[in-house]
Amino acid sequence: MIRSNPVKARLAAGRKSLGLWLVANSSMNAEIVARAGVDFVIIDHEHGPGDLMGAAAQMQALRSGSIGAANDDGRAPGGPAAFIRVPWNDTPYIKRALDTGAEGIMVPYVETAAEAEVAVRACKYPPAGNRGCAVSAIRATGFGHDSAEYWNRIDGEVCTIIQIETQKGVANIPEIAQIDGVDILFIGPTDLTATGGFNPTVPAAEARAIIESAEAAVKASGKPMAAVPHSGHSPAEMFDRGYDLVAAGSDLSLIR
């Protein structure tokens, strides 16, 4: 059975979503996080050491760890939504991540509408995209048990998250947001600071101004806005600033 994407459902209902990064490639960490009350996780394959076998184990742990957990605040049964941040805007990797069972794909360092379209097409089956069709053989369909339902529904359930991390990307937000299938724009404050010529480990008013310009552009586009907490803001303050999703911390940061 293919469930509705919990984050998309919350966005449609006007609800905010709180998430956590899974960086350590640990299924035990994922099992613990399943009961932590978050709405989504991002399994990080850009900076984390994990692979898709590790991601599959973490997604299994997210589901099993959520069994019997309290379902408060309208959270979906089956645990938090499982997103994978891929290493790059790489069509084959995106396809494999989705086949493994990811409910959303975050694509880093997108700078143009053309690049965003590449990401979207990799996330959708023909005719809307170029995702390869192997529905009878992939984990995402229960290895074929849910093939028909998956084919009929999944293009509308997968979350395509575009990460904005450069000033060129910020300048092109209006065009990127116009690409059909871009679901969420995720501001990357650390890379925005670094690509703007500032030390991301040292707070600077000029760097904050770059981030604020990205926020303004995303808000003007009408797309849901996401980020990690930045500029000293708590997750609650980020929501007050207009963010729809906040990925607040990681499994590693919580045990560091």
Q: Which residues are catalytic?
A: 47
Angle between helix 52-65 and helix 91-100 axes, rounded to 10 deg? 30
Alpha carbon distance, N-terminus to C-terminus of the chain: 37
Strands of the chain (E only): list them.
17-22, 40-44, 81-85, 104-107, 159-164, 184-187, 225-227, 245-250
Q: Answer whether 248's CB lies under 8 Å from 229's CB.
A: yes
Can you say whether residue 107 is alpha, beta or left, with left for phi > 0 and alpha for psi between -120 and 50 degrees? beta
Q: Of 81, 139, 131, 87, which Cα lies nearest the Cα of 108?
A: 87
Please state, in angstroms and as integers, the Cα–Cα distance from residue 110 to each residue in 20, 63, 89, 161, 231, following that order: 22, 31, 8, 10, 22
From 216, 244, 249, select the one nearest 230 (Cα to Cα): 249
Residues in the chain: 256
**C-alpha to C-alpha distance for 216 and 204, rounded to whole angstroms:** 19
Residue 174 and residue 192: Cα distance in Å, rounded? 17
User: What is residue 206's three-state secondary structure?
Assistant: helix
Looking at residue 230, its amino acid is H
Q: Which amino acid is at 52?
A: L
